[in-house]
Amino acid sequence: MEEKKYSYKYPHPSVTTDCVIFGFDDSQLQVLLVERGIEPFKGRWAFPGGFIKMDESCEEGALRELKEETGLTGAYIEQFHAFSDPHRDPRERVITIAYYALVRIQEVKAGDDAARAKWFHLNEVPSLAFDHDLILRAALARLRERIHFEPIGFELLPEKFTMKQLQNLYEAILDVRFDRANFSKKMLHFNILTQLDETVWPTPKREANLYSFNEACYRELKQKGFRLEF
């Protein structure tokens, strides 16, 4: 029998963090999943996550898991919901604090744990372990809400990007189409983009301007009561 060293007067639940990691490949949202090697749900895909340590906050725990899975540090993460159904884990009572992360696919060492981690397009995500299907829907819903008012989309793009890339991102996340000209005008009017001197040839047809997100400028506008809306 295994040793149980930690005793309490009342029963305590286990607490984990799970991290829904989003990436963008210039046309579609993707999500990073890991294949479970043990029961329950052995062989099924799930979000990276794990038990929280007693001396770290949930956010620190989520960032730790993120680093372990992708090698990334300092990524954008946001807590979006705690899932607490008493039977969501068949073994014992586990409450999970769920985060989503926005990362640049290019920067992810997709191979640290390559045998077990894999990017999935959103419409190719299989049935997941535990209640992770539910968690994914909630993460997506929150991301869609957030991007209406916060410039978080840039976390998914390279440092320098074209207007078309940015438009593709918004269209993919919100599942809508925008008029090319109107999208560009609206974005530029916000005054949160820096137009770079460089250009690229995204297709062999014509060169395109490159932009970068000007975070300092955004913070300044936000302080003045400016409300970004898309």
Partner DNA sequence: TCAAAAGTGTTCTCCCTACACCCATGG
Partner DNA sequence: CCATGGGTGTAGGGAGAACACTTTTGA
Q: Which helix (H) or strand (E) holds 16?
A: strand 14-24
Taking CB under 8 A as the criterion, the residue among 37, 86, 111, 204 binding its own copies is 86
The nearest distance, CB 202 to DNA, in angstroms, is 4
The nearest distance, CB 118 to its own copies, in angstroms, is 28
CA atoms within 13 A on the CB side of 77: 25
Per-residue three-class SS string for 178-217: CCHHHHHHHHHHHCCEEEEEEEECCCCCCCEEEEEECHHH
What is the size of the binding site for DNA (CB under 7 A)? 21
Distance CA 55, CA 66 (A): 18
The nearest distance, CB 223 to its own copies, in angstroms, is 16
The nearest distance, CB 84 to its own copies, in angstroms, is 4
How many other C-beta atoms are found inside a 10 Å radius of the C-beta of residue 120? 16
Cβ contact 1:81 at 8 Å = no
Tell me the β-bridge partners of 110: none
- Decide if residue 180 touches DNA (CB under 7 A): yes
The nearest distance, CB 88 to its own copies, in angstroms, is 9
Using CB distances below 5 to 8 A depending on partner kind, what does residue 181 bind out of DNA, its own copies, none? DNA
Q: Of 119 and 178, which has the nearer Cβ to DNA? A: 178
Cβ contact 31:125 at 8 Å = yes
What is the size of the binding site for its own copies (CB under 8 A)? 31
Give residue 13's Cα distance to chain centre. Answer: 26
Question: At residue 139, what is the residue type?
Answer: A
Q: Of 4 and 206, which has the nearer Cβ to its own copies? A: 4
Taking CB under 8 A as the criterion, the residue among 12, 91, 189, 206 binding its own copies is 12
Taking CB under 7 A as the criterion, the residue among 202, 212, 217, 221 binding DNA is 202
Binding residues (CB under 7 A) for DNA: these are 162-164, 178-182, 184-186, 189, 202-209, 229
Binding residues (CB under 8 A) for its own copies: these are 2-15, 51-52, 54-59, 79, 81-82, 84-86, 93, 95, 97
